[in-house]
Amino acid sequence: MLTSDHLEGYLGLLRIRQAAWRRDVIITGGLFLVAAVGALASGLLGAINGRLVYLVLGVVMAMGFGFLRAWVRLEIVKALMELADTLQRATGDGTG
């Protein structure tokens, strides 16, 4: 059975993970935005043509997938924090 102390420790770990994933979302999102805007501008100006388009598209897509992965992990950590908080309140109410 989980005790309130175990849940408090787990919540502390989840807070650290949340901060790390939030940082990753900001960094990967910023890089993805810059890459996407740069690729779009270069494409519209005609600076990218031929096979280079596929290379640029691949890099932008990889950055987009990295951003989505970090965002999903952040949402998972948020959900786990809500679950652990609910369990902590339930165990605190049950013993006290």
Per the model's pLDDT, the better-predicted residue between 3 and 58 turns out to be 58
For 70-95, the pLDDT digits (tens) are 999 999 999 999 998 898 888 875 44
* Alpha-carbon span 88 to 2, nearest angstrom: 9
Neighbours of 44 (CB within 10 A): 9
pLDDT at 43: 81
2 has pLDDT over 70: no
77 in Cβ contact with 18 (< 8 Å): yes
28 in Cβ contact with 63 (< 8 Å): yes
pLDDT at 93: 58
For 19-57, the pLDDT digits (tens) are 999 999 999 999 999 999 998 888 888 887 888 888 888
Distances (CA, A) of 32 to 29, 41, 58, 67: 5, 14, 12, 7
> In angstroms, how far is CA 73 from the centroid of its own chain?
5
8 has pLDDT over 90: no
What pTM was computed for the model? 0.80
pLDDT at 42: 86
